[in-house]
Chain A
Amino acid sequence: MKTRSRVAEHVRQLPFSGIRKFFDIVAQRKDVISLGVGEPDFDTPWTVREAAVFSLERGATHYTSNRGDPALRKAICRYVARQFGAEYDWESEVLVTVGVSEAIDVALRTIINPGDEVLYHEPCFVSYRPSIILAGGVPICVETRREDEFRLTRAMLEKAVTPKTRVLMLNFPCNPTGAVLAKQDVEDIAAFCVQHDLLLLTDEIYAELTYDSKHVSFVSIPAMKERTIFLHGMSKAWAMTGFRIGYACAPAEISENMMKLHQYAIMSAPTTGQKAAAEALERGDSAVADMVAEYNRRRNYLIASFAEMGVPCHTPAGAFYAFPYIGDLGISAEDFALRFLEEKGVAVVPGDAFGQCGAGFLRCAYATSMDNIREAMKRMSEFVAAVRTEKR
């Protein structure tokens, strides 16, 4: 008798993250310089960790309200108002989640009916497409390109939109490309959402990490608030990945229904993390500014190094990733990454782990020390020269 799989069909068909395969290979090696880490190398600011320790000493180890600790939700509203210029009601429009990852999942499951089309852009964070599929939606990918510095434009979206499109899902500044949207892009895309009556799900987790101009949030556009789910969190700018705190700001009806899913699946976000997050929002600005300044120096170093070795790379204006193009070297991104690891002991992530159109690119995170970056670029220069010699 043929045994049936115990795993649900739609889950079995879901591919593993492209990053996972590479992770397994890197994990077998020692002394690797990794430019493959998607999280800050900085320690969480001490004032934040100290607040977490204090909350434990005081015995704040119980559930919070499902939506999140009121003190944190108020701090979030103050922060979003002063940083992005949008007013939210802490009681009815804010939900604290287990990182932005949970917020993405809960938001999509709250707003998608079976068969609804969701527009999103690639290359993008690994969870976007699977999250849309698991929520019953139909993912429609819009490819961003090096020529546009991986910006998304209204023209690209107009080509992909259909009468079935319900949601546009964005992530700018972008992991893995480091792309940002200019103010005009944001206004154009907002007008596109209004014209086609779309909901906007905007993951702005890297909002603080921009280097050439200040981040323009979609919530700064008044007409967008009623149709926007704004996602943000503490992981990147405050170096708090392990605390697992994200949040969603949305119109009350959506927020309330998201809260139902969150309540049944999660109950409430980790209490220690929430206490730490409140401290970070109230007193973390200068620590964030110092980290941003350091990221910028590393970014400049990488861009200069790629230019010196003749590897094309657009200037990543946000997040902490450079996305150089190695397609001219006659080697696939995956082969490049595997051989670079094998021969030079440096880990980078092949661009196609973030979508097919990432083929030919490498994601190089500069969330690592300047010493590591200097050494990694020296070895990359040697490796690229060797690959070029082979090609001849």
Chain B
Amino acid sequence: MDELLTILQENARTSLEDIARMLRSTPEAVAARIAEYEKNGTIRGYRALVNEDLLQQDNVTAVIEVRVQPEREGGFDRIARRISGFPEVVNMYLMSGKYDLLLFVEGKNLREVASFVSERLSTLDGVLSTGTHFMLKTYKQDGVLMDGDKVDERLQISP
């Protein structure tokens, strides 16, 4: 992968000047490359990585396994698009194995998610069954450990 993307994935707020120093480039050239990535859709956005467990709110996330009936033409795509259109669905993947689609669904509380599953999701034509699991605690998200702070225990000077 382009090292520029590695740096932005690590910290999207790294300044153009800093990136230029790291890559032996110029801020203008870095800005142009980022603009190109944004234009061609490689970079789809920038956002903060929030540890929601620390917020005083009762948001819940559920992981839902969905079995669906694929169609003769279009396979899983049509039903998948229908499901992924709901704003409650934050991540969604086509899977191999005992079920077909894996959904990450967010809601303000348990009732909201439950009602989404029972009233909207499972009533869709083509949805055969659902299995819902509620998340209890986030240990790691997008490669970042969420519990505990790293302390540098090294000697301050060493040969």
Interface residues of A (CB under 8 A from B): 17, 19, 22-23, 26-27, 32, 34, 36-39, 41, 43, 125-127, 175, 293, 297-298, 300-301, 304-305, 347, 349, 370, 374
Contact = CB atoms under 8 A, between A and B. Distances in A.
A22 B24 contact: no
B125 interface: no
Which of B7, B21, B157 has the most chain A CB within a 10 Å cutoff?
Answer: B157
Interface size, B (range) = 10 to 19
B6 interface: yes
Contact of A37 (B18, B22, B23, B158): B158
B159 A301 contact: no
Contact of B155 (A23, A300, A304): A23
Contacts of A125: 159
A41 B152 contact: yes
A38 B6 CA distance: 26
A300 B154 CA distance: 24
Nearest to B19: A297
Interface in B82-141: none
Given A293-B3, A293-B6, A305 B21 contact: yes
B3 A297 contact: yes
B56 interface: no
Nearest to B11: A370
B157 A301 contact: no
B157 A34 contact: yes
B40 interface: no
A37 B7 contact: no
B18 to A, nearest CB: 6
Nearest to B17: A304
Contacts of A23: 155-158
B156 A301 contact: no
B154 A349 contact: no
B156 A297 contact: no
B81 to A, nearest CB: 36
B149 to A, nearest CB: 13
A374 B7 CA distance: 14
Contact of A38 (B20, B21, B159): B159
Given A39-B154, A41-B152, A41-B154, A300 B21 contact: yes
A301 B158 contact: no
Contacts of B154: 37, 39, 41
Contacts of A41: 152, 154
B22 A26 contact: no
Contacts of A374: 18
A22 B21 contact: no
B21 A19 contact: no
B1 to A, nearest CB: 10
A226 B23 CA distance: 42
B23 A297 contact: yes
Contacts of A300: 21-24
B27 to A, nearest CB: 11
A27 B155 CA distance: 9
A19 B159 CA distance: 7
18 contacts: A19-B157, A22-B157, A23-B158, A34-B157, A36-B156, A36-B157, A38-B159, A39-B154, A41-B152, A127-B159, A293-B6, A297-B7, A300-B23, A300-B24, A301-B21, A304-B20, A370-B22, A374-B18
Contact of A347 (B18, B20, B157): B157
Nearest to A368: B152
A23 B156 CA distance: 7
